[in-house]
Chains A and B, each alone.
Chain A
Amino acid sequence: MLSGVGEAVKHKLALEDTDTKTQRSVFAVFVEQVQNMIRYSAEKIPSSEMRYGVLTIGHENDDYVVHAGNLVPRSDVVRLREKLDQIRNMDKEELRALHKERLRLGPEEGSKGAGLGFMEIARRASKPIEFEFIDIDDTDDGEHVFFALKASV
């Protein structure tokens, strides 16, 4: 999945006359967002490992914005919020230090990756990342919530 779409994103960015660093950063954010969805989206095709999520790349003023959204278990919200709040309030130097520290640690509980994806997104972004957890199906105690993450580059 990622190979085909990734190539298309790369070509599109290259055509837009954007500087190299911006192109690489948008691509890097895109890759981490897609991998987060593939690994963690709670919405699965029954009896397979295929998962659903939505992702858009667009412009907002002078920035590129990468939005990702997928369902996550409500029980993960506290942990995710804590992690994202910590990262979004850090400056680049703090992110660098945390990245270095986490790289040496094994994956966190509930995490299949090295737990570094959000940090990579925040480091590549030009503004603090934004996120939201939204109740679905008009209920605030359903099993899942919609998780939206936005990064500007």
Chain B
Amino acid sequence: MQNLVIPAAARTPAIHFDFSSNHLKVSGESYPEDVTEFYKPVFSALDAYLATLGSGSCRFDFELIYINSSSAKAIMMLMDKLDAAAAANGASVDIHWFYDVEDDTMQELGEEFGEDLESAKFHLEKMKADVR
């Protein structure tokens, strides 16, 4: 499967989906003009990948500095897809949410998302200083 790599832009995060190593990552800031348009190819690639995952394992890192209110919805949808894959085929899905220690808003948001996961494993972690 073709990896999905989108470099970060002024208002959109970097997407690094390395399907061959089962390591997926979204990082940076997200407040696109059109949330649906930006996340559409991201959702499609994730759907296609999860359909092939079976009972395998995958790791998804969220390393977000700032997201606006409409992006929060898109992030929730990514989480739901991962959780559904873990529930359906018993895939082992690890979600890591990295937050900047200097901004507890993003920590709280991570906790909010984590509470809703039923099958995927959620890890809340501090961002390393060089990422911020």
Contacts and interface: CB of A to CB of B under 8 A. Distances in A.
Interface of A: 2-3, 6-7, 19-21, 24-25, 27-28, 31-32, 35, 96, 99-100, 103-104, 113-114, 116-117, 119-120, 123-124
Contacts of B33: 2
A113 B72 CA distance: 11
Nearest to B33: A2
Contacts, number: 62
B129 to A, nearest CB: 12
Interface of B: 10-11, 31, 33, 65-66, 68-70, 72-73, 76, 100, 102-105, 108, 112, 115-116, 132
A117 B108 contact: no
B68 A28 contact: yes
A104 B69 CA distance: 13
Nearest to A27: B66
Nearest to B102: A20
A120 B11 contact: no
B6 to A, nearest CB: 17
**Main SS class of interface, B:** mixed
Contacts of B70: 35, 113-114, 116-117
A123 B11 contact: no
A35 B104 CA distance: 23
B11 A28 contact: no
Nearest to B115: A100
Contact of B69 (A2, A24, A113): A113
Given A3-B11, A28-B66, A103 B72 contact: yes
Contacts of A103: 72-73, 76, 112
Contact of B108 (A31, A96, A114): A96
B19 to A, nearest CB: 28
18 contacts: A2-B31, A6-B10, A20-B103, A21-B103, A21-B104, A24-B103, A24-B105, A25-B105, A27-B66, A28-B68, A31-B31, A35-B68, A99-B112, A103-B73, A113-B70, A116-B70, A117-B70, A120-B72
Contacts of A100: 112, 115-116
Contacts of B104: 21
- The 10 closest A-B CB pairs, nearest first, are A116-B69, A20-B102, A120-B69, A114-B73, A3-B10, A21-B103, A117-B69, A31-B68, A24-B103, A113-B70
B35 to A, nearest CB: 9
B100 A20 contact: yes
